[in-house]
Amino acid sequence: MATRARKKKIQPDNAQLVLAALEEERTDRVREILTLLHPADIARLLESIPPEQRHPVWAMVDPEVAGEVLLEVSEAVRLDLIREMDSAQLVIAARSLDIDDIADLISDLSDEIIAAILFALDKQDRQRLDAVLSYPEDTAGGLMNVDTVTVRENINLEVVSRYLRQRGELPEHTNSLFVVDRSDRLIGILSLSRLLTASPVARVAQVTERDLIKFSALTPDKEVAEAFERYNLITAPVVDENGRLLGRITVDDVVDVIREEADREILNLAGLREEEDLFASVWQSVRNRWTWLALNLVTAIIASRVIGIFESSIEKLVALAALMPIVAGIGGNSGNQTITMIVRALALGRLNPENMRKLFAKEIGVSLISGLMWGGLLGAIAWLLYHNLPLALVMTSAMALNLLLASVAGVGIPYFRHKFGRDPALGSSVLITAITDSGGFFIFLGLATLFLL
């Protein structure tokens, strides 16, 4: 789902010039600037302006570039832009894309538009599109590009070179050719570097690399992204259950997977249901955010009732009211640090039941040392402010215990959500804050009631 390489110079600063020209109603100037911008920069521009400015600018984007722009913008903005296009414009936009990019776009289109796009494709491209759409979009099959270059192993390299010259342009990110047998079963790869440096009379079989990374069509896209990162891949083949070559995955598609996953985790940590248009209507934004805000309200009420239980203690020692937010705040921060580490470890496949106990023990140790260190510092500050040694000791103890609670919750929340098939990042930040707030207030005020009053 990546924008294809273009020879135009990238000029992101021109985005401001577009807005200025739009305000001056100089549409010719807007068109001139847009023709100089890379599709990714046009996408960024469209995401950063309100719909009342976005729609006129979008109408001036070259239809041949529109498809690439649609792939670069966020899903929320893409849906907004698609609503501004008629079927003819969408067909033109789609026809300028590679087959795998059309497959990425098609899920946001109506059945009528999809039928028009399919009608505009030739028979071979329709078959290729059907092949990609037959797999879930979050798998290697849904991610692959079916445009591959294959050769047989019984020919020599001179024949291969002549074939490539006759073929002309190669698919993007082609760093190797796929060697297949008569049944299209993958044998190995012939790298372009070997093709250029080996003897022209050498057989393909002699220079074929047979030990290679390949993916089954149903491999999850996360595993594909991890493999590309681990082995520094540029392209990799996708095969069916019989080893037949189906297509290839390129690094630009994997970068999109990594970016989308990172965006999703950021949103989930904040408890957002989905990515929203920066300039979405008030009602749309409210619908996107209300779920976890409602939960946050419930947890805030619980925290307030915890404080209410110790109201008489606070009345007797007013210093408690000033110090208790510190305990809760530091605990929340520590818990969020732990959750971030655990969610990342789960995403990278580094956490499993075997190493869970060791990791849990390590986080307990970190929380105890941090709690005693920072709790001791805050205890010293409390003693300097209030000249009350028992209060200082309670402050130190409460800090250590709340950081211990934060580490337990920080490990447990994402791990058990993942274990039961839920997104470990979704709302974790909200939950940890609720636990450390209520727990911090209860621990601090409880200790103060027991030992100070």
pLDDT in tens, 150-184: 999 999 999 999 999 998 889 888 999 999 999 99
Q: Write the single-letter amino acid at 368.
A: L
Exposed e or buried b for every residue in 78-108, given b needs 16+ CB within 10 A? bebbbeebeeebbbbbbebbbbbbbbbbbee
Residue 393 has pLDDT above 90, yes or no: yes
- Residue 151 in 3-state DSSP? strand
With bands split at pLDDT 50, 70 and 90, how would you rate the model's confidence at 134? very high
Q: Assess whether pLDDT exceeds 80 at residue 289.
A: no
pTM of the model: 0.71
Please determine, for residue 449, whether its predicted confidence score (pLDDT) is greater than 50: yes
Strand, helix or coil at 239?
A: strand
Question: How does the average pLDDT of the chain come out, rounded?
Answer: 87
Find the mean pLDDT for residues 355-379. Answer: 90
Q: Are 429 and 336 in contact (CB under 8 A)?
A: yes
Average pLDDT over residues 327-352: 84
Find the DSSP H helices in 310-427. 311-316, 319-347, 353-386, 389-419
Residue 352 amino acid letter: N
Among 50-59, 176-185, 346-355, the range with the most confident prediction by mean pLDDT is: 176-185
Is the pLDDT at 282 greater than 50? The verdict is: yes
Q: How confident is the model at residue 14 (pLDDT cuts 50, 70, 90)?
A: low
Rounded distance, CA 200 to CA 193, Å? 13
Predicted local confidence at residue 110, as pLDDT: 86
128 class by beta-carbon count within 10 Å (0-12 exposed, 13-18 middle, 19+ buried): buried
2 has a pLDDT exceeding 80:
no
pLDDT of residue 391: 92
CB 434 within 8 A of CB 380: no
Q: What is the largest CA-CA distance in the chain?
A: 95
- pLDDT confidence of residue 50: 85
DSSP state of 3: P
Q: How far apart are CA 360 and CA 341, in angstroms?
A: 12
Give the pLDDT confidence score for residue 294 in this predicted structure: 80
Cβ count near 243 (within 10 Å): 16
Question: Which band of pLDDT confidence, cut at 50, 70 and 90, is reported for residue 286?
Answer: confident
Angle at which helix 14-23 crosses helix 27-36, to 10 degrees, equals 170
pLDDT at 10: 43
Residues 6+ apart with CB under 8 A from 211: 188
- Listed in sequence order, the DSSP H helices in 84-154 are 87-95, 99-106, 111-120, 123-133, 140-143
Interval 403-412 mean pLDDT: 92
pLDDT interval class at 216 (50, 70, 90): very high
Q: Show the tokens assigned to 246.
A: 């189906």
Please tell me the predicted confidence (pLDDT) of residue 13.
56
The whole-number average pLDDT for the span 401-415 is 92
Per-residue model confidence (pLDDT) at position 1 = 47
Task: Kindly state the tokens that stand for 119.
Answer: 């009608």
Tokens of 367: 């929380």
Mean pLDDT value across residues 388-416:
92
From 3-17, 334-348, 438-452, the region with the lowest mean pLDDT = 3-17
Highest mean pLDDT among 13-22, 49-58, 154-163, 315-324: 154-163
The position carrying tokens 């990342």 is 344
Residue 120 or residue 9, greater confidence: 120
CA distance 159 to 147: 21
In whole angstroms, give the CA distance from residue 443 to residue 438: 9
**75-120 per-position pLDDT tens digit:** 889 999 999 998 889 988 988 888 888 988 888 888 888 888 888 8
For the CA atoms of 15, 17, 21, 26, the dihedral, rounded to the nearest 10 degrees, stands at -90
Mean pLDDT, range 123-135, rounded to an integer: 89
Give, in order, the Cα–Cα distances in Å from 35 to each of 38, 356, 393. 8, 54, 68
- Among left, alpha and beta (phi > 0; psi -120 to 50; other), residue 129 is alpha
Cα separation values, 399 from 134, 323, 332, 374, 396, Å: 55, 11, 11, 8, 5
User: What Rg, from alpha-carbon coordinates, does the chain have?
Assistant: 29
- CA distances in angstroms from 69 to 24, 66, 311, 330, listed in the order given: 25, 5, 58, 43
Q: Is the pLDDT of residue 196 over 60?
A: yes
DSSP β-bridge partners for residue 190: 177
Q: Determine the Cα–Cα distance for residues 179 and 9; give it in Å rounded to an integer.
A: 36
For CA atoms 193, 195, 200, 205, give the dihedral sign.
positive
CB 201 within 8 A of CB 156: yes
Q: Per the structure block, which two tokens stand in for 14?
A: 């021109």
Query: pLDDT at position 3, please?
Result: 45
Average pLDDT over residues 322-331: 89
What pLDDT is recorded for position 269? 64
